Amino acid sequence: MKKVFFLLLASFAFCLTLAVPAEATIKSDAPQNVIDFAAAQLPQVKQNFYEDPVAWGFRDAAEIDRATLGLGMQVHYWQGEELREEPSWEFVIEADGKPRTFLTVSDLDGSLKIIAAGGHAETFQYTITAFQRMAPNAAAVLVKDKNNRHLLGTVDGKQVLFPHRDPSATGGGATPLYVMKHPAPTAYVLADTAVLALCGSLFILRLTKRRLKK
């Protein structure tokens, strides 16, 4: 039984290896001047985090010390069935390579300003991971809806929505917190998750048949 269990783990790991290219990563689309501005303002912004690290999404003050500027993307909102582009860019602030909170820079009448900071970014990692796994070659577009952040990309000529995911609220992150008014992209993402589950099921079935023959 142990042998079957470890073989199953190896098979599942192999399926994940096929699904997630090692080089897959989401690239920032923020202009260099916006990135430079955010990086220059980060030390001052971090001073606010020390008052209550946990409330800002950090484990402790030491994590704030190690916080760096991460992924920066232009903000979009749904306007009817079209996307509206905003003169704002949201950055992920990371600690040890893991998302912790957000920082938003906006172009106000030609002048860059910090307009928002905060929000727990840890659950956004599941959206990033799903996008990298299923759309490794697509350009990601950040779509905000209230406090939720989604990623939109083009896969095989179709626009695919990767919704905000929270494993603690959805039993492992397989189901989105809610379905936006464009259900087809969400169905595409969930269908791909089902393919991975099928891969594991077929492997179990094959092992069972072999054991019965013996």
How many residues does the structure list for the chain?
Answer: 214
Q: How far is residue 142's CA from residue 153's CA, in Å, rounded to a whole number? A: 9
Q: Which residue type occupies 212?
A: L
Q: How far is residue 47's CA from residue 150's CA, in Å, rounded to a whole number? A: 28
pLDDT given for residue 213 in this prediction:
55
Q: Six-digit token pair at 30?
A: 């923020």
Question: Which three-class secondary structure string do you get for the chain?
Answer: CHHHHHHHHHHHHHHHHHHCCCCCCCCCCCCHHHHHHHHHHHHHHHHHHCCCCHHHCCCCHHHHHCEEEEEEEEEEEEECCEEEEEEEEEEEEEECCEEEEEEEEEEECCEEEEEEECCCCCCHHHHHHHHHHHCCCCCCEEEEECCEEEEEEEECCEEEEECCCCHHHHCCCCCCCCCCCCHHHHHHHHHHHHHHHHHHHHHHHHHHHHHHHC
Q: Six-digit token pair at 102?
A: 């957000």
* Predicted TM-score (pTM) of this structure: 0.69
**pLDDT digit of tens for each residue in the chain (214 aa)?**
433 333 333 333 434 434 444 445 788 999 999 999 999 999 999 999 999 999 999 999 999 999 999 999 999 999 888 899 999 999 999 999 999 999 999 999 999 999 999 988 988 999 999 999 888 888 999 999 888 899 999 888 888 999 987 655 544 443 332 333 343 344 334 434 444 344 444 444 454 455 555 5
Is the backbone of residue 27 left (phi > 0), alpha (psi -120 to 50) or beta? beta
pLDDT given for residue 214 in this prediction:
54
pLDDT given for residue 76 in this prediction:
97
Q: How far is residue 76's CA from residue 84's CA, in Å, rounded to a whole number? A: 5
Q: What is the CA radius of gyration of the chain?
A: 20
Q: How far is residue 200's CA from residue 62's CA, in Å, rounded to a whole number? A: 40
